[in-house]
């Protein structure tokens, strides 16, 4: 007994008597793959396609001319319905130009694809809806230039790790003497777009001076945490963790706490005489504690330089917000430069996205003598390394004996009064010339001011064009306070005041070569103050001087810098930020590529008629810590397109139309939260991002559902009914940007990654169902044959031919048996490639030697109407038929 299907039916078993004979497979009706309907031949009337690929900056879904520059060297393709591809590379302006009429392309409708030039670093730009040249489009899209119409298609890529909103706030930290009461400011926050009119803007106190104590390096992680590294500064008390290499964390919810403590102990302060002497710490400034602190662009790593062991520490940041905690840190010895006089003093860090730079100075202590206690500035050198995967590569070095002005240059009467002139001479009173690292006690100048500038490379910024911006802090201004005693001074020695003389220098990048600014010029950029005798080549790129009533302070910066990528804004901590306003600490903002001052901000007034109160702050010295931008987390976005898959192959062909009005719902599955709902537009596109109501969240998994019940099918080819629509084959082809991602129910799952994650490959194709009908005939008489049993298999594994066994077998669809009319039909199929397997034959007929027939390519064009694709199969008789059925 052999199981048979009911003739003409599907899925019912019928016991019949069968004589197994050898049969012959028949012939199938033609089953050529469906075509797209594109007109054949050249289209000389086609317009041109201009593809503009830009560097996205503000992630707003629009192209911002002037702000978002073109990306050169990006591969762009234009593809027609026949698979013909034209390839271009964007020029220096980010433009790729296509002229289809003069190429092998056909049809007028084309698919545009721009390929990510650096997938490890870049994400597709956040897209907007619409078709104008000012709309930021997905990196894969479609254009219609038939009938002579030309179009501009704008797309782009961006680096989420350098994203920052247009007008961010910044933070710095006010520093005070060790016995200052907690009524003074500590960490402060302010808007970065302050004016140039005193006081410039409003400053908000976040902590008091005692909550974190003396700190310099500051980093932010974009989730509400500010990290601050312990600074060894004479007269300034350590934070709550005491004399340890502690990095503190401040969060608005929990206040200040210890985040991580790195190896090494610090020299204890001498608190006697109200902290006015504190001699033990004098020589340890710049040699102990934490140097710069910074956070990687993705917010996952905290970098810090330990001055105790000259190592770069990389501390994983686990979690977000107030729930963060440190992972197990790793440390890397920052190599001493090959040519380095004296001791090596690494300190500064520069982070831009995934790039990490580390810098320091060789102090030339070995050149200090009794006759020249300031040493030999020509032997003092600064160095910058690039840190990549655990190793350091030298980028830049320079000597620090370039011309400088005066820390304090008196210009008033009488003419016989002692004064510093420029270019000044190293070691002369109140000179700003860099000295070797030393412990000398300078001779006080006017108003008991002293200066002995010694460079600390405290900050590094990486400019948009690859230039470096180096922030130098004056070590001596951390060794000497205001209205405090000189080092090892006799009890009758008068108190003195330090004047800080830091600097900000631009280093010009040309390929892999870096050169120092020269007379206020950096390659094609022209700075603010050429020929002023205050910088390399006798000019200064950045205007870092202040004019007071009878004085010029030529080098007022304090080593804290912040650069906003692509916005042409550079900030630095300074003393005396405003002309004619002495005894203030604040921040200056420059035009980053021109060096001109655009704004100043007062953070802290430092003058008091009471000497004891003056000593609480640091006057014209280093009274502020580092400077850091508070940038939002980079937006996230998912989406792209729903289309009508005319040929049913699961691939978005250029001429296949979009589907408007499909409802798209994103339901978070990995955490609680509201559903996010949107609809496809006239281009069939949809986007869901951080800006949506309910907000798409990073690091979250969503179930995505597509609902076509509201679609106007009259606009689709053939005007199919809504009920007849099916979701096309999933995951066809090798290009994930142009396939369909949903299952037969219109559902898929998407994982949103870290902030900045953009996924424009969540597509869905609608198509018409197809049908395959086979007709079984007698080979000789063409008489319909009942009782032949067939299995239908869909080719799903990408391997040529039918595989019915093993782990990679094709998909079994169903089986059926032919009716009295010789027919057997399989309906509601997805377009695709199928095989028939004849498993049983009518009584008296031979079973074919090759029971598998196909492949049959079913498309909406050849199999969506009536009986669908009709396959005729023939069988030959094997033995004389006996019985009533003959």
pLDDT > 90? residue 417: no
What is the percentage of the chain residues whose pLDDT exceeds 70?
Answer: 94
What pLDDT, in 10s, does the model give residues 811-838?
A: 999 999 999 999 999 999 988 899 999 9
Q: Measure Cα distances from 436 to 76, 152, 396, 423 in Å.
A: 54, 59, 20, 18
> Integer distance in angstroms from the first to the last C-alpha of the chain?
20
- Alpha-carbon gap, residue 659 to 765, rounded angstroms: 9
Of 609, 606, 546, 598, nearest in space to 567 by CA:
598
Which of 92-106, 490-504, 696-710, 868-882 comes out lowest in average pLDDT? 868-882
Q: What are phi and psi of 724, to 5 degrees?
A: -85, -10
Output the DSSP codes for 123-184.
EEPPP-SS-STTBPBPSEEEEE-GGG--EEEEEEEE-GGG---SS-EEEEEB---TT--TTS
pLDDT > 60? residue 797: yes
Q: Which two tokens stand for residue 569?
A: 């804004």
pLDDT in the model for residue 33: 33
What pLDDT, in 10s, does the model give residues 362-395?
A: 999 999 999 999 999 999 999 999 999 999 999 9
- For tokens 């140097």, the residue is 291
Q: What is the largest CA-CA distance in the chain?
A: 139
pLDDT in the model for residue 589: 98
Q: Which two tokens stand for residue 230?
A: 């312990």
- Alpha-carbon gap, residue 565 to 24, rounded angstroms: 74
Residues 758-786 as b or e (16 or more Cβ within 10 Å = b): bbbbbbbbbbbbbbbbbbbbbbeeeeebb
What is the helix (H) or strand (E) element at residue 392, kind and residue range? strand 391-399
- Alpha-carbon gap, residue 644 to 658, rounded angstroms: 6
Of 555, 403, 412, nearest in space to 472 by CA:
555
Which of 409-423, 456-470, 580-594, 821-835 comes out lowest in average pLDDT? 409-423
pLDDT in the model for residue 30: 32
**Under a CB-based contact definition with an 8 Å cutoff, are residues 863 and 774 in contact?**
no
What pLDDT, in 10s, does the model give residues 742-778?
A: 999 999 999 999 999 999 999 999 999 999 999 999 9
Q: Are strands 832-840 and 789-794 parallel, antiparallel or unpaired?
A: antiparallel
Segment 860-875 mean pLDDT: 92
Residues in the chain: 886
Segment 596-602 mean pLDDT: 98
pLDDT > 80? residue 17: no
Confidence class for position 22, pLDDT limits 50, 70, 90? very low
Segment 466-471 mean pLDDT: 98
The pTM score is 0.88
């Amino acid at each position: 007994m052999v199981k048979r299907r009911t003739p003409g039916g599907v899925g019912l078993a019928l016991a019949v008597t069968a004589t197994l004979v050898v049969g012959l497979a028949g012939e199938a009706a033609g089953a050529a793959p469906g075509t797209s309907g594109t007109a054949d031949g050249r289209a000389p009337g086609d317009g041109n396609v201009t593809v503009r690929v830009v560097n996205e900056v503000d992630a707003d879904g629009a192209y911002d001319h002037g702000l978002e520059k073109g990306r050169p060297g990006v591969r762009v393709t234009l593809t027609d319905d026949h698979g013909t591809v034209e390839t271009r590379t964007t020029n220096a302006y980010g433009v790729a130009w296509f002229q289809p009429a003069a190429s092998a392309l056909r049809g007028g409708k084309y698919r545009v694809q721009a390929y990510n030039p650096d997938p490890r670093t870049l994400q597709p730009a956040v897209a907007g809806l619409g078709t104008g040249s000012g709309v930021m489009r997905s990196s894969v899209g479609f254009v219609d230039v038939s009938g002579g119409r030309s179009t501009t298609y704008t797309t782009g890529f961006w680096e989420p790790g350098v994203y920052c909103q247009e007008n961010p706030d910044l933070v710095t930290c006010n520093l005070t003497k060790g016995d200052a009461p907690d009524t003074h400011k500590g960490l402060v926050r302010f808007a970065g777009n302050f004016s140039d009119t005193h006081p410039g803007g409003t400053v908000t106190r976040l902590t008091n001076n005692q909550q974190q104590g003396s700190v310099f390096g500051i980093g932010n992680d974009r989730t509400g945490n500010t990290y601050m590294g312990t600074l060894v500064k004479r007269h300034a008390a350590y934070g709550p963790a005491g004399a340890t290499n502690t990095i503190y964390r401040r969060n608005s919810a929990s206040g200040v706490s210890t985040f991580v403590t790195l190896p090494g102990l610090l020299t204890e302060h001498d608190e006697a005489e109200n902290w006015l002497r504190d001699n033990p710490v004098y020589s340890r400034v710049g040699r102990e504690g934490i140097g710069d602190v910074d956070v990687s662009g993705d917010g996952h790593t905290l970098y810090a330089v330990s001055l105790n062991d000259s190592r770069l520490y990389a501390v994983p940041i686990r979690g977000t917000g107030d729930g963060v905690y440190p992972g197990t840190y790793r440390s890397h010895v920052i190599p001493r430069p090959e040519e380095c006089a004296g001791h090596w003093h690494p300190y500064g860090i520069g982070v831009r996205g995934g790039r990490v730079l580390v810098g320091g100075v060789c102090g030339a202590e070995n050149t200090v003598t009794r006759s020249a206690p300031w040493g030999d500035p020509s032997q003092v050198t600064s160095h910058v390394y690039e840190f990549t995967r655990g190793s350091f590569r030298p980028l830049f070095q320079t000597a620090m004996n370039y011309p400088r002005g005066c820390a304090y240059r008196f210009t008033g009467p009488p003419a016989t009064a002692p004064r510093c002139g420029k270019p000044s001479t190293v070691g002369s009173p109140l000179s700003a010339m860099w000295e070797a690292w030393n412990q000398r006690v300078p001779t006080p100048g006017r108003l008991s001011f002293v200066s002995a500038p010694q460079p600390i490379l405290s900050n590094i910024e990486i400019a948009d064009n690859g230039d470096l911006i180096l922030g130098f802090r004056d070590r001596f201004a951390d060794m000497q306070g205001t209205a405090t005693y000189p080092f090892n001074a006799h009890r009758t020695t008068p108190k003195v005041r330090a004047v800080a003389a830091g600097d900000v220098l631009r280093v010009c990048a040309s390929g892999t070569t870096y050169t120092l600014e020269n007379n206020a010029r950096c390659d094609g950029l022209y700075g603010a103050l050429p020929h002023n005798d205050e910088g390399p080549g006798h000019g200064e790129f950045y205007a870092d001087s202040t004019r007071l009533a009878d004085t010029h302070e030529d080098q007022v910066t304090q080593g804290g810098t912040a650069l906003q990528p692509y916005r042409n804004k550079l900030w630095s901590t300074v003393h005396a930020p405003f002309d004619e306003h002495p005894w203030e600490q604040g921040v200056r903002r420059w035009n980053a590529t021109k060096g001109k001052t655009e704004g100043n901000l007062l953070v802290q007034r430092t003058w008091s008629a009471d000497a004891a109160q003056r000593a609480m702050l640091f006057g014209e010295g280093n009274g502020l810590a580092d400077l850091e931008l508070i940038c939002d987390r980079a937006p996230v976005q998912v989406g792209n397109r729903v289309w009508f898959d005319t040929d049913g192959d699961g691939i978005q062909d250029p001429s296949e139309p979009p589907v408007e009005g499909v409802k798209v719902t994103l339901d978070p599955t990995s955490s609680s939260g509201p559903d996010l709902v949107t609809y496809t537009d006239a281009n069939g596109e949809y986007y869901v991002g951080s800006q949506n109501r309910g907000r798409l969240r990073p690091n979250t998994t969503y179930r995505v559902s597509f609902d076509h019940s509201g679609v106007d099918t009259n606009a689709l080819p053939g005007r199919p009914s809504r009920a007849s629509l099916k979701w096309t084959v999933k995951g066809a082809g090798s290009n994930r940007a142009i396939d369909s991602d949903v299952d037969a129910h219109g559902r898929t799952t998407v994982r949103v990654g870290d902030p900045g994650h953009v996924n424009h490959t969540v597509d869905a194709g609608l198509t018409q169902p197809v049908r395959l009908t086979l007709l079984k005939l007698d080979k000789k008489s063409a008489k319909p044959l009942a009782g032949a049993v067939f299995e239908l298999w869909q080719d799903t594994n990408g391997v040529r031919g039918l595989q019915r066994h093993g782990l990679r077998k094709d998909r079994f669809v169903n089986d059926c048996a032919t009716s009295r009319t010789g027919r057997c039909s399989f309906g509601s199929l997805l377009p695709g490639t199928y095989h028939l397997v004849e498993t049983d034959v009518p009584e008296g007929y031979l079973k074919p030697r090759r029971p598998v027939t196909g492949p049959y390519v079913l498309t909406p064009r050849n199999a969506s109407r009536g009986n669908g694709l009709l396959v005729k199969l023939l069988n030959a008789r094997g033995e004389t038929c006996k019985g009533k059925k003959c």
